[in-house]
């Protein structure tokens, strides 16, 4: 693993390490006094997916609850570009550097979006983890570095906020597609032939097992073939949904609104589902057995009976 240090919109040093962050049970670092006393915090991740940022969207609220007079900021797309440069990462919705701006939009606990930061950027590598809890969410580890007291009752589930204008616009789409009925959401991004030809372990058996888990998961929902469905399905398989809307090409904010208002969301674990974990019932097949920092207590994870 590579640990980065960032000053003045630049990665100024990096080093290899066996594990990012520090164990709570050992000697560990926290935010230095001179920076802590400023009570100005930047939420920053060194990865750029929807789920990567979605799982820390409650952090502004939790920092404000711990330090009511503090200020909380997020990086602009420009700041991320200046630090990381051009990216080949694909996003189905937008430039991945714009993802934090979209996810934290309308968040009343965010004081602003910044292009630069004065001093060191304490990003997601600066974390203090509880080694007795292998599935401790990243957001708690980052908060602990910022000297926030962590306990079992802390509400760290992702936050989403929609403006009145967005609600009016998005609810019209919802009504046009689903009327006044309840609806479900489904996601399957595993392409069957791709997995068979070059997927995990390069084995057809692995691909078949992954997709069979999705089939088994679907049929546990007794109404799956009758309830209206919002579907993203890249698997090449027909799951028999009552599809009323395809998720392909739907803008990110609209997708978040639709899924957060669904009766339930099932399928392959996705960053969108993670981000909506506060608002709907979610049951997913994870990418791996090691969900670790992406673990969210409101999601039901289907156990994977194999390694890949």
Using one digit for the tens of pLDDT, what is the confidence trace for 93-136? 678 999 999 999 999 999 999 999 999 999 999 999 999 998 89
- For the entire predicted model, the pTM comes to 0.91
Identify the structural domains of the chain with CATH numbers, from first to last.
2-145 (no CATH), 164-301 (3.40.50)
User: pLDDT tens digit string along 272-301?
Assistant: 999 999 999 999 988 766 677 788 999 999
Report residue 182 as tokens: 């309840």
Q: What would the two tokens of residue 95 be?
A: 């430039």
**Candidate from 60-74, 103-117, 186-200, 214-228 with smallest mean pLDDT:** 186-200
> DSSP letters of 123-155?
-TTS-EE-TT-TT--HHHHHHHHTT----TT--
pLDDT band at 209 (very low <50, low <70, confident <90, very high): confident
**What is the structure's pLDDT at 202?**
44
Q: Give 38's Cβ-side CA count (13 Å radius).
A: 13
pLDDT at 306: 46
Q: Encoding tokens for residue 123? A: 């990003």
Closest by alpha carbon to 261, among 245, 248, 249?
A: 245
Give the per-residue pLDDT at 20: 92
Average of per-residue pLDDT values in the chain: 90
Measuring CA to CA, how many Å separate 300 from each of 121, 265, 287, 288, 292? 34, 11, 14, 14, 14
Band (pLDDT 50/70/90 cuts) for residue 196 is very low
pLDDT score for 128: 97
Q: pLDDT: is 27 or 182 the higher one?
A: 182
Q: Give the Cα separation of 231 and 248 in Å (integer).
A: 8
Q: What is the pLDDT of residue 91?
A: 54
């Amino acid at each position: 693993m590579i640990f980065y240090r960032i000053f003045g919109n630049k990665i100024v040093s990096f080093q290899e390490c066996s594990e990012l962050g520090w164990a709570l049970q050992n000697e560990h670092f926290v935010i230095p006094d001179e920076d802590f006393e400023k009570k100005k915090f930047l939420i920053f991740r060194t990865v750029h997916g929807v789920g990567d940022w979605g799982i820390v969207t409650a952090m502004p609220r939790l920092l404000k609850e711990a330090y009511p007079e503090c200020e909380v900021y997020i990086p602009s797309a420009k700041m991320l570009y200046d630090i990381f440069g051009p990216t080949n990462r694909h996003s189905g919705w937008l430039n991945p550097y714009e993802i934090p701006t979209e996810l934290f939009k309308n968040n009343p606990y965010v004081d602003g979006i910044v292009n630069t930061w004065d001093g060191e950027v304490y990003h997601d590598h600066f974390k203090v983890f509880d080694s007795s809890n292998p599935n401790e969410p990243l957001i708690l580890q980052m908060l602990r570095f910022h000297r926030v007291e962590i306990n079992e009752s802390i509400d760290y589930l992702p936050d989403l906020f929609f403006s009145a204008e967005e609600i009016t616009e998005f609810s019209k789409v919802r009504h046009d597609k689903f009327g006044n009925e309840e609806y479900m959401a489904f996601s399957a991004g595993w392409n069957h032939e791709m997995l068979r030809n070059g997927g995990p372990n390069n084995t057809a058996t692995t691909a078949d097992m992954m997709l069979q888990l999705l089939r088994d998961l679907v049929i546990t929902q007794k109404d799956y073939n009758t309830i209206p469905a919002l579907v993203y399905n890249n698997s090449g398989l027909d799951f028999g949904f009552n599809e009323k809307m395809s998720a392909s090409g739907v803008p990110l904010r609209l997708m978040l609104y639709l899924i957060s208002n669904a009766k339930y969301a099932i399928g392959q674990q996705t960053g969108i589902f993670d981000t909506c974990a506060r608002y709907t019932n979610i049951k997913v097949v994870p990418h791996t057995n090691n969900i670790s920092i992406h673990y969210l207590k409101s999601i039901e994870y289907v156990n994977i009976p194999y390694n890949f």
